[in-house]
């Protein structure tokens, strides 16, 4: 009998690309593992259609657990998953298989996998100086992109809050860090909580790169290309992931949001 294998059903933003990139980074890790006589081999589905067929073969619908991360501990495999994939993808189901697996009812699983994009919330912060003359146009753009504004407030950022919005790359350069903090605390910002299907990724795609020049080169209609001046005064901050969006909502809107009850918000205690 062959050794057990670990089969994972994963979901995430740009899941196929994210997983492929993670597996590429595994190349160096494989060399280290092979020295110890434990070579890690991986295979991934390349299309949604293949993913569905394989998921229907390996899992039953009762195996799928949303909102939780579950790993089967198996030495080097667990180490790789915890260090390289947990930050990229959210696990729906993990199963250790020996021999044949139970088959699921394809119709039920198909319905599960074909459910439309989940309605989520994200946070958009319009930085000082960027919103006072452009608010009407920005709100119009949000409406055209099917965003609902479920929270809005003016805020003068404290230094510790401003630091929390900055990336680790910015914090590595003291001069750049000081420039960002000085700008973010220089005036009143406008914070919006936005709701729509796939809200986090949609907003990030609309904003574009942090550098307005790169945004302009990529697409002149990106928001940072239109309203940004420099990498510091680039107009906007947007939550970069759902976990960060939840953190931002709790930070800026502790009193709650003006929207109908939502399961995801209830689960996150927003």
Q: Where are the domains of the chain?
A: 5-113, 119-267
Q: Comparing C-alpha atoms, which of 70, 62, 115, 77 is closest to residue 93?
A: 70
The whole-number pLDDT of residue 114 equals 57
Q: Comparing C-alpha atoms, which of 102, 80, 99 is closest to residue 29?
A: 80
- Rg (C-alpha) for the chain, rounded Å, is 22
What distance in Å separates the CA atoms of residue 19 and residue 11, rounded to the nearest whole number?
10
Q: Comparing C-alpha atoms, which of 116, 89, 100 is closest to residue 197?
A: 116
Q: State the pTM of this model.
A: 0.62
The whole-number pLDDT of residue 81 equals 40
The whole-number pLDDT of residue 152 equals 93
The whole-number pLDDT of residue 19 equals 84
Per-residue pLDDT tens, the chain, 270 aa: give them. Answer: 567 888 888 877 677 888 888 888 776 666 665 555 555 667 788 887 787 778 778 877 666 654 433 333 333 433 444 344 443 333 334 444 444 444 433 334 555 555 556 788 999 999 998 888 889 999 999 999 999 999 999 999 999 999 999 988 888 999 999 999 999 999 999 999 999 988 999 999 999 999 999 999 999 999 999 999 999 999 999 999 888 999 999 999 988 777 655 556 665 555
Angle of CA points 110, 246, 251, to nearest 5°: 170
Assign domain 119-267 to its CATH architecture: 2-Layer Sandwich (3.30)
Q: Are 153 and 189 in contact (CB under 8 A)?
A: no
Angle of CA points 118, 90, 47, to nearest 5°: 80
């Amino acid at each position: 009998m062959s050794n057990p294998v670990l089969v994972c059903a994963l979901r995430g933003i740009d899941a196929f690309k994210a997983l492929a990139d993670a597996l590429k980074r595994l190349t160096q890790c494989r060399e280290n593992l092979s020295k110890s006589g434990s070579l890690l081999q991986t295979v991934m589905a390349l299309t949604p259609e293949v993913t569905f067929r394989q998921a229907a073969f390996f899992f039953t619908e009762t195996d799928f657990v949303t909102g939780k991360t579950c790993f089967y501990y198996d030495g080097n495999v667990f180490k790789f998953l915890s260090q390289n994939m947990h930050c990229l993808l959210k696990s729906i189901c993990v199963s250790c298989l020996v021999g044949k697996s139970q088959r699921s009812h394809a119709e039920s699983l198909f319905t599960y996998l074909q459910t439309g994009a989940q309605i989520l919330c994200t946070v958009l912060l319009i930085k000082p100086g960027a919103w006072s003359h452009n608010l009407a146009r920005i709100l119009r753009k949000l409406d055209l992109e099917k965003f609902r504004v479920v929270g809005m407030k003016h805020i003068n950022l404290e230094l510790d809050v401003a630091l929390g919005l900055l990336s680790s790359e910015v914090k590595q350069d003291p001069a750049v860090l000081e420039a960002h903090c000085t700008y973010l605390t220089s005036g009143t910002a406008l914070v919006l909580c936005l709701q729509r299907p796939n809200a986090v990724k949609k907003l990030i795609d609309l904003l574009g790169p942090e550098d307005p020049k790169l945004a302009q080169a990529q697409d002149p209609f990106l928001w940072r290309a239109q309203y940004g001046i420099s990498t510091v005064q680039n107009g906007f901050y947007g939550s970069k992931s759902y976990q960060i969006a939840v953190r931002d909502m709790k930070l800026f809107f502790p009193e709650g949001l003006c929207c109908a009850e939502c399961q995801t918000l209830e689960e996150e205690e927003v």
